[in-house]
Amino acid sequence: MFRRKIEEAVKALQFRDLYLLPSLSSKDPSEIDLTTNFSRNIVLKIPIASSPMDTVSEDEMSIALALLGGIGVIHRNNSIEEQIEIIKRVKSAPPVRIREAYLYTSDPCHRALEVLEDLEVRDLPVISLEGRIVGMIYYNDLIRSCKEYISLEKILRPPRYVNIKNIGEARKILFEERLDSLAVVNQDLVYIGTIIYRDLFTDLQPSLDDEGRLLVAAAVSPFDRNRVIKVDRYADAIVTDLAHLHNKNAIDALRSIQKEVSKDLVLGNIATYEAVKDLAENIEKIDGFRVGLGGGSICTTPEQAGAYVPTLYAVASVRDAVDDLGLRVPVIADGGIRSGADIVKALAAGASVAMLGYLLAGTDEASSPAIRIGSKIYKYYRGMASKSSMERRFAVDRYSRRAKRVEEGIEGLVEYKGSVFKVVPELIEAVKAGLGYAGASNIRDLWEKSRFLVTTERGDRGLKIEL
């Protein structure tokens, strides 16, 4: 009986065990459409969401991701008021990328040239030391003046700008006046930022609600009724945030709070076919599943508690249950995704979206400090069930329940990677290439056409960050 239990152990492959079998491709990567559903009613342009972790997802991350066509899930390691403030900042952010890109009139010519060349623009706003917009500098004028050692003031042209309240006009002005850049100012002409033409006219378009505001989701505990009710007023989707939602107490709590949720309700985390069945039998409102258990890079559940389901296997199991039960809701693959290749594999295994912690934790927009050690820069990243993260949770939110006494996460440093605006487009290019190899022109096509091949079974469970 017990020996048989071991002999009959489930064989669950993971990201690094499998590859996609190539197939006849008829589309260029530029023609591949990655439109997908985050939840029943929330459509994204790219299959990427951020993990609701306090070192990853606050407003900066969520704004950047929504601008790129994905979505951020705001963490709950804060008071309800703080979480709502973060959500409000995302909802009130302009739906265009605004960069800090400007020159001062006092800047030397060679520096101005360098800035324009780095940004690959032919013009840029110029501001005074008090921060007011004073003019524009053009590349051609600069080339001439640098030769003749003329100061920038001598070659300033009239300022071009848009008021933050009329930001919708930026596209028209940039297009009609053939500008590469446009300053954004407030009513006192104080510089706020710069819109760059190519940021507006790219393949990656923002995820917006019906009123043209950026989309954002929020993590909650199903036991925190008060937070669920309050956050539901502001966020576009609610994502439950428990390591093991397939648990009787959690299901009872969900049953009682589901009616309070007016937005989409994504349930997680789960990792098995049976979890979907039990949730479907007990919960009426299900708008998506967040799937993964023990697969995260900062996760120690497998070592501490002995439980683990490789994310790829969990996704496929949950997706089968969703299809068998006719639920028609998306599956979010969460944990252990460390490359564009893993995202493609997760999609091929039935996911609609990849949730990223590690891959985003090293970016400028991640909500944690950068740390310099020697010549290298790192960002701090920690599991939400790590000691320090749990301590913070109980300090800031007296309603949170300490259900378990064991730490199931670690903290550490990840290498600094630059901006999400660089990292995510690179991932998306890789994902599109993957779909191309699999002969798929969109995610649905990938679900239907893709096939996996197994190479060796390495038996490890993927990345661990360095302490």
List of residues contacting ligand XMP (CB under 6 A): 51, 53, 243, 269, 292, 294, 296-299, 301, 334-337, 355-358, 383-386, 408-409
Would you say 193 or 294 has its CB closer to ligand XMP? 294
Question: 174 vs 359, which CB is nearer to ligand XMP?
Answer: 359
CA 319 and chain centroid, separation: 22
Provide the minimum distance between the beta carbon of 143 and ligand XMP in the complex, in angstroms, as a whole number.
46
- Closest CB 286 distance from ligand XMP, rounded Å: 18
Question: Least distance to ligand XMP from the beta carbon of 163, Å?
Answer: 39
Distance CA 165, CA 167 (A): 6
Nearer Cβ to ligand XMP (371/453)? 371
Residue 410 neighbours by CB under 8 Å, 6+ apart: 298, 299, 300, 382, 383, 386, 465, 467
**109 among known catalytic residues:** no
State both tokens at 334: 């969460």
- Determine contact, residues 310/461, Cβ cutoff 8 Å: yes
To the nearest whole angstrom, how small is the minimum distance from the Cβ of residue 352 to ligand XMP? 16
Q: Tabulate helix, strand, coil % of the chain (nearest 5).
A: 35, 20, 40
The one catalytic residue among 4, 328, 398, 405? 398
Amino acid type, 26:
S
Nearer residue to ligand XMP within complex by CB, 386 or 441: 386
Q: Which is nearer to ligand XMP, 193 or 336 (CB)?
A: 336
Closest contact distance (angstroms) between CB of 52 and ligand XMP is 7
CA distance 323 to 329: 9
Residues 369 and 437: beta-carbon distance below 8 Å: no
Closer by beta carbon to ligand XMP, 278 or else 334: 334
Instruction: Select which of 299, 319, 382, 393 is catalytic.
Output: 299
Q: In whole angstroms, how close is the CB of 366 to ligand XMP at the nearest point?
A: 11
CB closer to ligand XMP out of 133 and 353? 353
CB of 373 to ligand XMP, least distance (A): 21
User: Among residues 74, 75, 69, 62, which one has the least CA distance to residue 42?
Assistant: 69
267: tokens are 């349930």
The DSSP code sequence of 216-276 is -EEEE-TT-HHHHHHHHTT-SEEEE--S---SHHHHHHHHHHGGG--SEEEEEEE-SHHHH
State how far the Cα of 125 lies from the Cα of 100, in Å rounded to an integer: 10
Other C-beta atoms closer than 10 Å to the C-beta of 192 total: 18
Beta strands in 146-206 (DSSP E): 161-163, 181-185, 191-196
Give the strand order in the sheet containing 376-382: 370-373, 376-382, 411-415
Q: Which is nearer to ligand XMP, 117 or 303 (CB)?
A: 303
Q: Are 291 and 315 within 8 A, CB to CB?
A: yes
CB 51, min distance to ligand XMP, A: 3
Q: 262, 64 in Cβ contact below 8 A?
A: no
What the block records as the tokens of 253 is 């709590």
Crossing angle of helices 225-232 and 248-257, rounded to 10°: 40
Residues with a known catalytic role: 299, 398
